[in-house]
């Protein structure tokens, strides 16, 4: 697989109106908050990403693994990212799901955020919960002994994953 371009774009913004403690000018009452970010992997012109996959994953008996040695890349094909580093992980917990926990695990665990990390991707009746971790060149290499990200949740719920490795 040849990756021709890749960027992570996050743009969180909100407007807030103040109703007390404002000055004389009406323009003092509305504040724009924004924290945009755009980056390649890593922050250089070179893009060390060679494996990219976006796929749905379904829990079986409340458990699933994101296996970085068998990343679904399209057309039913998978790619083995052995020897590569995780550059970015995004998980979207679908609306209607319960909470989804991502963690280090015990079966060939991949350490991109330490050996005791755990993160809950919130479940909600009508909104998606989102987890985003960008760790350009900061993670270890994928190997047969370090390949799985543990996902635990409720029953057989499905969620969406995107990984970029290089």
| Domain annotation covers residue 44 | no
- pLDDT tier at 30, thresholds 50, 70, 90: low
Per the model's pLDDT, the better-predicted residue between 139 and 53 turns out to be 53
Residue 67 preceded by cis peptide, ω within 30: no
Same domain assignment for residues 25 and 70:
no
DSSP state of 124: -
Continuous segment of H or E residues that includes residue 76: none
Same domain assignment for residues 91 and 146:
yes
| Domain annotation covers residue 153 | yes
Which residues is 160 bridged to in the sheet? Answer: 56, 92
Same domain assignment for residues 110 and 31:
no
Same domain assignment for residues 74 and 94:
yes
pLDDT in tens, 82-136: 999 998 899 999 999 999 999 998 899 998 888 888 999 998 888 888 888 887 6
pLDDT of residue 127: 84
pLDDT of residue 126: 84
Taking 80 as the threshold, does the pLDDT of residue 42 lie above it? no
- Can you give the pTM of this predicted structure? 0.79
Half-sphere exposure of 132 (CA within 13 A, CB side): 7
pLDDT of residue 70: 97
Q: How many domains does the chain have?
A: 2
Per the model's pLDDT, the better-predicted residue between 47 and 81 turns out to be 81
Q: Which residues contact 137 (CB under 8 A, 6 or more apart)?
A: 42, 48, 85, 87
Half-sphere exposure of 79 (CA within 13 A, CB side): 19
Same domain assignment for residues 62 and 16:
no
To which residue do tokens 């909100």 refer?
14
Q: Provide the mean pLDDT of the chain.
A: 82
Taking 60 as the threshold, does the pLDDT of residue 62 lie above it? yes
Same domain assignment for residues 153 and 91:
yes
Same domain assignment for residues 28 and 95:
no
| Domain annotation covers residue 45 | no
Q: What would the mean pLDDT of 57-69 be, rounded to a whole number?
A: 96
């Amino acid at each position: 697989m040849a990756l021709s371009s890749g960027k992570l774009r996050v743009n969180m913004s909100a407007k807030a109106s103040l109703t007390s403690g404002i000055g004389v000018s009406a323009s003092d009452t509305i504040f724009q908050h924004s924290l945009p970010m755009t980056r390649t992997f890593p922050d250089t012109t070179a893009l060390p990403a060679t494996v990219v996959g976006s796929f749905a994953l379904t829990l079986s008996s409340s458990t699933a693994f994101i296996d970085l040695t068998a990343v679904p890349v399209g057309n039913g094909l998978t790619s083995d990212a052995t020897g590569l580093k995780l550059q970015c992980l995004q998980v979207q917990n679908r609306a209607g799901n319960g909470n989804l926990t991502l963690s280090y695990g015990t079966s060939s665990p991949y350490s991109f955020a330490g050996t005791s990390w755990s993160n809950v991707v919130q479940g909600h009746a009508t909104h998606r919960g989102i987890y985003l971790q960008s760790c350009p060149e900061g993670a270890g290499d994928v190997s047969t002994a370090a390949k799985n990200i543990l996902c635990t949740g409720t029953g057989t719920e499905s969620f969406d994953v995107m990984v970029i490795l290089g």
